Structure 1
């Protein structure tokens, strides 16, 4: 297992439609394990193969308190409802924004052993599934932000928080 480098926007691989995986073999299982390690190392809850420079239809999901897993060649079976939520991405680390996502989804595909898998997701899982499948189609969350007002810089926000913490916790000079 290896931690792979995350491709950052505007890397062209992030805009390509990923290719379907014809056979789940040892190379795909290694990719899955590497993606899981990379996702964990970057504190993500999902990762798509294009984010590590591999234009194949493979995602990994890692919800809090659950064992991470892969979905190969994922497809939506059903989407229900709509909600607006804050979203960010390991491939666009400096931005976050408000996007519309489904309230719940059902996705089918193959697991890392090539066996059929079906996943029902609500809330964070639903969001992660939609976000990662978007990556397989060359779509980034910034494409789904309705207006520039709903996009914000994450780095600046973090720096502001650190500045606020420093200024409030520093003792005054006397």
Structure 2
């Protein structure tokens, strides 16, 4: 599965992975969990793993929503699925070429620092290639959970693909998914 450390944390992408993707969502009332999100996050926690969220939010840089709106949506995600141990948000656009926007490793590395773990002790679960690219760049494990928006070439390039979050966590725990 990549990495050599013992798994200590699972970092989830937010939109399209934990919650149904509502493009540039700034309204907490629109937050709806993905089908197996609640039991999957609970499964990770029962296994003793820290949980976190790493989320690109380029709508901030584009002027489509504010950081306050992003935080309000994140608080709603925490109410439904959390509380998560760490949140990392990138408010930049792709053109900004920042170190945090996935597929750059910045948010993964920041989450690991906040949790006091090495990247090899973390896994990232996401729905697009950028999520997996960030995990690889940071030295973390990665599992893809494709959605209708995931491109076929991203699925083919992924080392590990699960049909949903429940199975993704199961694969990381080494159990039968």
TM-score under structure 1 length normalisation = 0.29
Rg larger in structure: 1
TM-score under structure 2 length normalisation = 0.29
Instruction: Give the structure with the larger strand fraction.
Output: 1
